[in-house]
Amino acid sequence: MTQDNPLLDFSDLPRFADIRAEHVSPAIASLLEENRAVITALEQNTAAVTWENFVQPLDNATEKLGRAWGIVGHLNAVVDTPEMRAAYNENQPAITEFWTELGQNLKLFAAYKALQNAPEFTALSQARKTIIQNAIRDFRLSGAELPDDKKQRYAEIQEKHAALSTRFSENLLDATNDYGLFVESEDELKGLPEDIIQAARAAAEADGKSGYKFTLHFPSYFPLLQYAENRHLRETIYRANATKASELGSKAEWDNSNIMAELLRLRKEEASLLGYQNFAEVSLVSKMAESPAQVSQFLEDLAKRARPYAEKDLAELRAFAAESLGIADMQAWDTAYASEKLRQQRYAFSEQEVKEYFPEHKVVDGLFRVIQTLFAVDIKPDQATVWHKDVKFYRLERNGELIGQFYLDLYARNGKRGGAWMDDARGRRLTSHGVQTPVAYLTCNFSAPVTMNGVEKPALFSHDEVITLFHEFGHGLHHLLTKVDDLSVSGISGVEWDAVELPSQFMENFCWEWDVLQHMTSHVDTGKPLPRELFDKMIAAKNFQSGLQTLRQVEFSLFDMRLHDAFDPHGAKTVSDILQEVRTQVAVLHPPEFNRFQHSFSHIFAGGYAAGYYSYKWAEVLSADAYAAFEEHAQETGSTLSRSVGEKFQTEVLEAGGSRPALTSFKAFRGREPVIDALLRHNGMAA
């Protein structure tokens, strides 16, 4: 079966049309066997270690395994089926075991150290030096220097951790997919936009039911909170969303409480085995930030700066809810509704009004226009087999030469995990056949097109969703525009986790530029572009409640850092206690006691952001300061779409990938250290 196995075909793009769950186990078994044979040969090699006889064959073998397993993980995330989930879970322990073995292999560790100490090291490229230094660091973090009994325990921790993280995600997905709020009468949906009502009707019809169905997928539940005049409906959907995958949720088997506690115990034990006081210290070894104390100080300072703005935001919202909406006791399920009404009153527009100017085709065309202008590339539709009929595929070219390709999967659906993300399908590297071009997955969860009165309307994106698309595409550009030829540090690979959000958050800024928006808007009914008057209102409202939003991000980041720094997972305090302590310190808006946000905090329990969620705010300092270079250009020319500044950003940040420290790349672009001023200004919090 291995000969015909599509997961073992690395000649080009993944063969999604051919891949089945039954292909997974034979493919992974074959690749693990091949990798172990390569490692045995490398261990037995008696010649002097060189890049060509050691790193390259190891990279060649592990890349295949990484690519095949990446496809399986991707399918598990975007078209979750019982068969694919079972295949993923069946093979995950063997994958985890292999990477742990590799990371603890003393002969390979010694070979990397020999490479670093060899006279030839100084002649290597900066990228290759970085790869060798990163490998030595990672061997130490993988427990290579531990005694055998502790190595064994470390391996057990890794396997159990991987299984628990996967289970956390599955519980969240199952709880999300399972829920349905059915509403019989349209009278109860007063205030909701027509496209949301039509989507709810279609969802009910798909279930063979009458009326309207709302789910816990973001494009379905959030408009209820934002627009529904029926307060009981808002409370019902809020409770369902706030308690999913918890002990208060619909099924005990989906409760993530014990999983969170066990993950934290395992992380603490891992840190102790490696000689660190806590997992936060382990996490920061490979990041820009130097210590948990430095991160906490950064976050607490940001909280202090944001707090007066947040207190003002909240006071205004409570007063408005009481005086204009008759809601004297504003609750958590009222805040989005009251905020939207206040925005409409203060700035004389609604998010729904804006949304009608952002049909999918214009947004995507506008995004491509920005990229093509800044980075002198062409983006064209391309052909590939895909995992769902809604997925589109494109290629990037420069002067007719292929640079990279990407899949675009924009709509929410059952069996697809929530959120938005970029992942790499294939990295750039130089091979004996020439350059292997990079390929990316760009995944979002937006509303799909709806049919109204027999006519299919294009998908309409809120401005927030447009920002999300630009954000993920920033990650995509980091992956696709790299010029590094060595896999481990090309694109996003090897970039410090707290700098990896720089290009993504940088791209968000263009969503607020008039010369960008006038080219990416077209009213769904009239075809007219966004009026300048409405744009000016959007700009006026840009920092509406930014104090509250900043404190919310700080709250999540501090909670994450505290869990992995000072918290004793064997002590009397619980995860909920830590969250409450953080809220007491920094929050001004407190959710109800039943809120179980932590039970769906996938970033830190299932997504690689453990002791790293602060990265969003840390990198925003870098991204805002980087974007300020484009704003400075606009003061002279009237446009931030500068090819000259774009070229420098491309050369110093995007093309460099992980081949050098992110701070070095930033300073090469800006000519100085980053400063926080632009971040505060962008958020309306400058002195």
Give the pLDDT confidence score for residue 2 in this predicted structure.
Answer: 63
572 contact partners, CB below 8 Å, separation of at least 6: none
Mean pLDDT of 210-215: 97
CA distance 227 to 462: 14
Q: How far apart are CA 249 and CA 237, in angstroms?
A: 12
Rounded Cα gap, residues 216 and 174, in angstroms = 11
* Helix orientation angle between 24-44 and 82-103, rounded to the nearest 10 degrees: 10
Distance in angstroms (rounded) separating the CA atoms of residues 51 and 156: 32
The average pLDDT across 574-579 equals 97
Whether the per-residue pLDDT at 609 is higher than 60: the answer is: yes
Q: What is the pLDDT of residue 24?
A: 98
pLDDT recorded at residue 15: 97
Rounded Cα distance between 326 and 594, Å, is 24
Q: What is the DSSP letter of 611?
A: T
Helix axes 575-586, 257-273, angle to 10 degrees: 90
The 3-class secondary structure across 232-259, one letter per residue, is: HHHHHHHHHHHHCCCCCCCCHHHCCHHH
Q: Is 647 a catalytic residue?
A: no
Question: What was the pLDDT predicted at 453?
Answer: 80
pLDDT tens column, 57-87: 999 999 999 999 999 999 999 999 999 999 9
Q: Is the pLDDT of residue 455 over 90?
A: no
Which pLDDT band, with edges at 50, 70 and 90, does 136 fall under?
Answer: very high
Q: How far apart are the first and last CA of the chain?
A: 66
Domains by residue range for the chain, with CATH? 2-145 (1.20.1050.40), 179-253 (no CATH), 360-540 (1.10.1370.40)
User: Residue 436, exposed/middle/buried by CB under 10 A (0-12, 13-18, 19+)?
Assistant: middle
Residue 686: predicted pLDDT:
84
CA 24 vs CA 51, 66, 330: distances in Å: 32, 13, 51
pLDDT of 451: 83
Q: How confident is the model at residue 454 (pLDDT cuts 50, 70, 90)?
A: confident
Of 540, 533, 583, the C-alpha closest to 558 is 583
Given a cut of 60, is residue 44 above it in pLDDT?
Answer: yes
Residue that has been written with the tokens 């409405």 in this structure: 534
* Positive or negative torsion for Cα 102, 105, 108, 113: positive
- Which of 37-46, 262-271, 443-452 has the weakest average pLDDT? 443-452
Position 430 pLDDT exceeds 90 = yes
pTM of the model: 0.96
Listed range (390-399, 450-459, 515-524, 632-641) with the worst mean pLDDT: 450-459
pLDDT average, residue stretch 106-124: 97
CA 596 to chain centre: 21
Residue 260 CA to residue 164 CA, distance in Å, equals 8
Residue 126 identity: Q
d(Cα 100, Cα 244) in Å, to the nearest integer? 33
The whole-number pLDDT of residue 419 equals 96
pLDDT of residue 687: 66
Q: What is the DSSP letter of 494?
A: T
CA 425 – CA 10 distance, rounded (Å): 11
Residue 338's pLDDT is what?
A: 98
Query: Residue 613's pLDDT is what?
Result: 98
Across 548-556, average pLDDT: 97
Task: Note the pLDDT tens digit of each residue in 297-313.
Answer: 999 999 999 999 999 99
548 is written with which tokens?
Answer: 């509250």
The answer on pLDDT for 408 being more than 70 is: yes
Active-site residue, from 340, 360, 465, 472: 472
The pLDDT tens digits of the residues spanning 474-497 come to: 999 999 999 999 999 999 999 999
Average pLDDT over residues 157-166: 98
- Mean pLDDT for the chain? 97
Q: Nearest CA to 426 among 370, 473, 490? A: 490
Instruction: Identify the band that residue 452 occupies on the pLDDT scale cut at 50, 70 and 90.
Output: confident
DSSP letter, residue 609: -
For the chain, give the number of residues: 687
Q: What is the 3-state secondary structure (H, E, C) of 43-86?
A: HHCCCCCCHHHHHHHHHHHHHHHHHHHHHHHHHHHHCCCHHHHH
Average pLDDT over residues 217-223: 96
What is the identity of the amino acid at 426? R
Please give the average per-residue pLDDT across 420-427, as a whole number.
Answer: 98
Section 255-276 average pLDDT: 98
The CA distance from 121 to 51, in Å, is 10
Give me 507's structure tokens.
Answer: 């791209």
Rounded Cα gap, residues 215 and 237, in angstroms:
8
